[in-house]
Amino acid sequence: MTTAPDHKRDRVDLPAARRAWCLYDWANSAFATTVMAALFPPFFRTLALAAGKGEAQSTALWGYVTAGGLLLTAVLSPLLGAGADAHGDRKRRLAWTAGVGSALTVAMALLGGAHWQVAALLFTAASLAFSLSIVFYESLLPHLAEGAELDALSARAYGLGYAGGGLLLVVNLLWVVKPGWFHLAGAGAAVKLSFVSVGVWWALFTLPLLRRVPEPAGSGAPGGLRATLGRLRVTFGEIRRYRELSLLLAAYWVYNDGIGTIVKMATAFGSELGIGLTHLMGALVVTQVVGVPSSYLFAAAARRVGARALVLGALAGYAVITVGALFLRTTAHFYILAAAVGLVQGGAQALSRSLFAVMVPRHRAAEFFGFFGASGRLAGVAGPLVFGLTAQMAGSSRLGIVSLMVFFVVGALLLLRVDPVAGAAAAREAERQAGWSPAS
């Protein structure tokens, strides 16, 4: 069993460390659901509309803001990941990014009026902190499990994320729908209080990971900026020499663009179609509720048919969802699509993460996960941009959703060429050549 590097490994409570690691999905998913998916997109559109922007233009602006944050993350993820490996301070960097992100989320409660530019900057900074924290978080995964247990642990974390994000989202939904029950002035005050609740939730449930999960040993490489940049150039070349890992990155680059765009643009899309905030949030609750058992079912099935086959099945489901969006007319249709997303989303993302983790040299996990995060975020720039441009030129974003099918088809074709067994063997050989072991 692979554990975090510790000279006295018998002191490591591995089950407790795994539970604490999974709990960070519970912590950060509140930002992903309440802020990124549910409340901030329509809130941002309200600010843009107050500034005199049109309906389609406001949706397009949100697409551009989302793309900008993803681009920043793509640039910084590999650099900071490589530094974390060198210094062996993944948890410290996670603490900083989660702390800054939660504080910026609380600060969103101060937004108002027509200041959409300030809202854009604040959201970009908070989402950057959110994404970078996930790089450090995910880089701990290969040190906590191996083999089939990686699939189970990754899916368990996603299941907790759906449960935690969904639980707080239900509370936030009640605040927005029935503000009088909670002595709030109105829905606007409820939205701002929701931002505060997410920031506190995120910070509070990050603490178990910081206390329980051991810090893996650093790679011992020089940690200066120049040395880090040089090592990144070497890593990029090495990734290309890992054939299976390169193919997986390319596939993830493509299909995660489609997944991320659906997640980030769903409520803006629904708002444009005239679906009220209550139903937008309700649909997201449905996604969370369906996502919990779905994540665990995907993990159980992965033991029999393998992670790759199940990710391919999830991508097929996404292709059907994009076609269904073309026929979306009513609130009931929106709920049905939300349930369908919940059915495939957790499995696709959890098993993609564990599939990557098994093919990563563990002594450089943060560095490689930095590239993993960068590939997902950099690829995610294209989807929101296409969505925004389509909305602006066509006056409707319905066709933009349908166009995402190409990301799932191309991504699936690339994933079909990945051999996970050969990829894992290459990673273990790299560890052996480097003289690294979990107890080193």
pLDDT tens column, 183-204: 999 999 999 999 999 999 999 9
Give the pLDDT confidence of 250-290 residue by residue, as tens digits: 898 888 888 877 776 676 677 777 788 788 878 888 888 89
**Torsion sign, CA atoms 38, 25, 64, 120:** positive
Please, how many CA atoms are within 13 Å of residue 319, restricted to the half-sphere of its CB? Answer: 15
440 is a domain residue: no
Work out the widest C-alpha separation in the chain, in whole angstroms. Answer: 64
Residues in the chain: 440
The count of structural domains within the chain is 1
Assess if residue 119 is contained within a domain.
yes
**pLDDT mean over 341-345:** 89
**Is the pLDDT assigned to residue 222 strictly greater than 60?**
no
Residue 334 lies in domain: 13-217+224-434
1 found inside a domain: no
CATH of the domain at 149: 1.20.1250.20
In the three-class reduction of DSSP (H, G, I as helix; E, B as strand; rest coil), residue 213 is classed as coil
| Structural domain contains residue 3 | no
Give me the residue label for tokens 């090592």: 231
Is 168 in contact with 31 (CB distance < 8 Å)? Answer: no
In whole angstroms, what is the distance from residue 426 CA to residue 375 CA?
21
**For the segment 6-63, what is each residue's pLDDT rounded down to a tens digit?**
433 345 688 899 999 999 999 999 999 899 888 898 889 888 888 888 777 887 788 7
User: Is 140 within the bounds of a domain?
Assistant: yes
Place 220 in a pLDDT band, splitting at 50, 70 and 90: low
Residue 303 lies in a domain: yes
**Residue at 254 is within a domain:** yes
C-alpha dihedral (292, 15, 133, 215), degrees to nearest 10: -170
Look at residues 3, 5, 33 and name the one whose alpha carbon lies nearest to residue 16: 3
CA-to-CA dists, residue 356 to 20, 181, 264, angstroms: 21, 46, 23
Residue type, 397: S
Note the pLDDT tens digit of each residue in 413-422: 999 999 998 9
Using alpha carbons, select from 324, 328, 338 the residue that is nearest to residue 283: 338
